Amino acid sequence: MPPALPSERHDATRRFAAAGITLLLAACGPAPQGGFHGFPPAAVTTLVLQPRTLPVSYEYVGQTAGSKEVEVRARVTGILEKRLFAEGAPVKAGQPLFVIDPKPLEAQAAAADAEVARARAQLTQAEREVARLKPLAERRAIGQKEADDAISTAELARATVKAAEARLAEVNLSLGYTRVNAPITGLSSRANKSEGSLVNANETLLTMIWQVDPIWVPFNVSENDRLGLERAVAAGRLVLPKGNAYDVTVRLSDGSAFPRRGRINFSDTRVNPATGTYEMRAEIANADGALKPGQFVRVALKGAVRTNAIAVPQVAVQDGPQGKFVYVSGKDKDGKDIAVVRPITLGDWVEVDGANLWIVESGLAAGDTVIVDGIAKLQPGGAIALGGPDAAGAGAAPGKDASPGGNAPPGKDAPPPKDGANATPAPAPKR
């Protein structure tokens, strides 16, 4: 039998390949209907949005400070003899802290006391002279000038006594400053000078004392955040507590909540030109000294409410090249349910009944159906199989997990970090 020509071998190969593809398609069965590019519709859970009144809290990074902070300085020059307190221990107002060598001032005090005695003796002599010459002057037994000179001498002696007494009081005052007492009750710092050191009057810092009951927590609010708050209040979307009567809670660096609540006792009306922020300050009872000056904490202000707010679970929010978006349920031209991308602008992060929600500033409205579960399988315009609105399920569990669309957004939209030690402040609108 003659060998096959090349063209005949090529035709046979094509017929064999076509037959194989036909058998493979037959084995796979008919293609699924109604999916996106051949995929079956994604099963999703949805949430129908309704306006609601939501509590809003704002969180800032602050640093504790004493309600009084006093620099204890030497008020006389001398050699530091003793330290009378335990460094870092609580001290009471009037408690002796240091002793500066008093001997030089004691000698000066003795000299000043002697000068007072001499001046008083001279005054007594001058007064006796006035008393002796007065009857003689009345009988004109002596000249008037002699009598007047005696009176002037007595007056000068009287002034000399006052000057000597003032000098003695000054020296005694400096002598009292050789014992350095605590001006307030509070926590002491370390001693900056050791025994034997020379200290200079009004210059040498010996230690610091902080009054920690109550303790203050200053924090800063950015100008942009405060302007946003004022606009929201003017538009009626936000109601703030009157007189800054916020419920203040403090979270420590390990994430634990401080058990006592505080109040706002100061809100600056001017912008700090160096930082572009407004300063606010919280006051917290601290009788047991649990909070120490200089601690970094997170200050949460509660008491504001959002009215007619639209909120979505955090899990529904996705990150895209153009910013944040959610999937909403829509219809294609055949009336089938599909996933539609909806860009949104986020507002504050809120927690309601244990569920973490974002307040949506724009992009969504009441009645919109947002997809809150099954998002990982979605494609824009892809077919979906609705599982039915589930407001309870969508608003609780999903809010506790990270968004599958990417990392939580930064700034005021970011949820408070659990690790307080490494927490980056989340700027929030300010009062």
Greatest extent of the chain over all pairs of C-alpha atoms, in Å = 182
The residues facing 283 across adjacent strands are: 216, 263
More confident residue, 19 or 333: 333
pLDDT for residue 223:
92
Q: Which segment of 277-281, 296-300, 302-306, 346-350 scores lowest on mean pLDDT?
A: 346-350
CB within 8 A of 116, min separation 6: which ones?
161, 164, 165, 167, 168
Both 355 and 265 in one domain: the answer is yes
pLDDT for residue 38:
59
Among 126, 161, 176, identify where a domain stops: 176
Calpha distance 193→98 (Å, rounded): 10
User: The dihedral of CA 318, 322, 328, 334: what is its sign?
Assistant: negative
Both 156 and 268 in one domain: the answer is no
pLDDT digits (tens, 9 = 90+) for 334-361: 889 999 999 999 988 888 888 889 999 8
How many domains in the chain?
Answer: 2
The residues facing 302 across adjacent strands are: 57, 247
pLDDT digits (tens, 9 = 90+) for 133-189: 989 888 888 888 898 999 999 999 999 999 999 999 999 999 999 999 999 999 999
What percentage of the chain exceeds 70 in pLDDT? 81
Residue type, 150: A
The tokens describing 135, both together, are: 């009857």
Both 228 and 289 in one domain: the answer is yes
Nearest to 280 by CA among 321, 248, 327: 248
Calpha distance 80→74 (Å, rounded): 9
pLDDT for residue 301:
94
Residue with tokens 């710092």: 189
Both 328 and 244 in one domain: the answer is yes
For residues 340 and 284, is the Cβ–Cβ distance under 8 A? no
Residue 10: is its pLDDT beyond 90?
no
Q: Establish whether the linkage from the previous residue to 214 is cis, with ω within 30° of 0.
A: yes
pLDDT for residue 178:
97
Both 154 and 292 in one domain: the answer is no
Does a structural domain hold residue 13? no
| DSSP character string of 334-354 | TS-EEEEEEE-EEEEEEEETT
Name all contacts of 238-244 with Cβ < 8 Å and 24+ positions apart: 238/56, 238/304, 238/305, 238/306, 238/307, 239/304, 239/305, 239/307, 240/303, 240/304, 240/431, 241/303, 241/304, 244/280, 244/431
The residues facing 339 across adjacent strands are: 329
Both 144 and 271 in one domain: the answer is no
Calpha distance 352→107 (Å, rounded): 74
Both 162 and 228 in one domain: the answer is no
Q: Is 182 helix (H, G, I), strand (E, B) or coil?
A: coil
Residue 59: is its pLDDT beyond 70?
yes
Does a structural domain hold residue 28? no
pTM: 0.67
Both 163 and 280 in one domain: the answer is no
Per the structure, the complete domain to which residue 167 belongs is given by 102-176
Nearest to 52 by CA among 323, 395, 410: 395
pLDDT for residue 37:
55
Both 297 and 375 in one domain: the answer is yes
Calpha distance 327→376 (Å, rounded): 11
pLDDT for residue 138:
86
* CATH for 385: 2.40.30.170
Q: How many CA atoms lie within 13 A of 418 on its CB side?
A: 3
Average pLDDT over residues 105-132: 95
For residues 18 and 12, is the Cβ–Cβ distance under 8 A? no
More confident residue, 193 or 8: 193
Q: How confident is the prediction for the chain on average, in pLDDT?
A: 83
* CATH for 123: 1.10.287.470
Structure confidence at residue 22 as a pLDDT band (50, 70, 90): very low
The tokens describing 242, both together, are: 């009157």
For residues 301 and 221, is the Cβ–Cβ distance under 8 A? no
Does a structural domain hold residue 129? yes
Among 113, 143, 176, identify where a domain stops: 176
Residue type, 52: R
Average pLDDT over residues 1-18: 47
pLDDT for residue 26:
38
Both 163 and 306 in one domain: the answer is no
Does a structural domain hold residue 335? yes
pLDDT digits (tens, 9 = 90+) for 368-402: 999 999 888 888 888 999 875 443 333 333 333 33
pLDDT for residue 32:
42
Both 226 and 329 in one domain: the answer is yes
pLDDT digits (tens, 9 = 90+) for 235-288: 998 999 999 999 999 999 999 999 999 999 999 999 999 999 999 999 999 999
Average pLDDT over residues 317-346: 92
* Phi and psi angles of residue 218, each rounded to the nearest 5 degrees, phi first: -75, 145
Among 122, 151, 176, identify where a domain stops: 176
Both 253 and 303 in one domain: the answer is yes
Q: Which segment of 106-115, 309-318, 407-416 scores lowest on mean pLDDT?
A: 407-416
pLDDT for residue 142:
85
Does a structural domain hold residue 158? yes
* Phi and psi angles of residue 313, each rounded to the nearest 5 degrees, phi first: -60, 145
